[in-house]
Amino acid sequence: MSAPGRRLAIDYGRKRIGLARCDGLGLTTQPLPMLQSTTLEADLKALARVVAEEEIVGIVIGIPLQLDGNEGRAAQEVKLFAAVLRERLHLDVDEVDERLSTKAAHALLKDAGQKHAQRKGRIDSTAARLILQSWLERRKHAPPA
């Protein structure tokens, strides 16, 4: 299977947008500074800047499905945001199930000894990193196309 190239993972929220990226080979992931969400246009411009600076070739966005696997309002909102990203940034945007990624990110940072105040600023990008790691793992184990 070919290397995925640098991917940007997004944990989208109305207040904060968590970001992470992988290296060009898809071997390592790194959280990036989260974006404070303001307006759609400002968010898109900020993401376009990150895409250019990090030489991103595709995006992975977490879809917050309900525990039963159905799409609620939040999932529909993120899917609309993903559609706008595809149109504006002209990149592939893969949508992945992100159920419990924020909870897992909280646990990971807590286990690392970070206090609640420290975790608050890193939780969204850590969730994005977990989303990207999950996407990379699934890709690694997928049968060749």
For the chain, give every domain's residue range: 7-141
pLDDT digits (tens, 9 = 90+) for 111-130: 555 555 554 557 788 889 99
Q: What is the mean pLDDT of residues 76-87?
A: 96
3-state secondary structure of 37: coil
**β-pair partners for 97:** 63
DSSP 76-128: HHHHHHHHHHHHHH--EEEEEE-TTHHHHHHHHHHHTT--HHHHHTTHHHHHH
pLDDT at residue 67, rounded to an integer: 78
Lowest mean pLDDT among 36-40, 46-50, 105-109: 105-109
CATH (residue range 7-141):
3.30.420.140
Query: Are 107 and 119 spatial neighbours (Cβ–Cβ below 8 Å)?
Result: no
